[in-house]
Amino acid sequence: SSELTQDSAVSVALGQKVRITCQGDSLRIFFASWYQQRPGQAPVLVVYGENNRPSGIPDRFSASNSGNTASLTITGAQAEDEADYYCNSRDSNSNHVIFGRGTKLTVL
């Protein structure tokens, strides 16, 4: 089955911009969705599709897509953005759902 590859850890200074990437062949066909998971909490959908945010998600979260790479950008990172971020999409071969291994974001 297909895989989605994410960096294991990324850091950003408070108030700065950070990009988290997700790579995989399925992203040439299906958009990625992005989830934030704070310690001890359930995941929360933050961005999906071409660049859509669910109600209540701050507009500092945005998505972009190019070829086999999807990116989540946080413009003006806040302390509360420190969390694990996961991408997912559908596997173009099996119709299964696949997740990246997650990126731990540290806000310095």
Partner 1 sequence: QVQVAESGGGLVKPGGSLRLSCTASGFTFSDYFMNWIRQAPGKGLEWVSYISGSGRTIYYADSVKGRFTISRDNANNSLYLQMKSLRDDDTAVYYCAGGDSPTPQEYWGQGVLVAVSS
Instruction: Show Cβ contacts of residue 40 under 8 Å, excluding neighbours closer than 6 positions.
Output: none
Q: Are strands 103-107 and 9-12 parallel, antiparallel or unpaired?
A: parallel
**What's the burial of 59, exposed, middle or buried (CB within 10 Å: 0-12/13-18/19+)?**
exposed
Q: Which of residues 29-48 bind partner 1 (CB under 8 A)?
A: 30, 33, 35, 37, 42-45, 48
Q: Which of 49, 51, 58, 78 binds partner 1 (CB under 8 A)?
A: 49
Does position 21 interact with partner 1 (CB under 8 A)? The reply is no
Q: Which of 13, 38, 54, 58 binds partner 1 (CB under 8 A)?
A: 54
Q: Which is nearer to partner 1, 10 or 45 (CB)?
A: 45
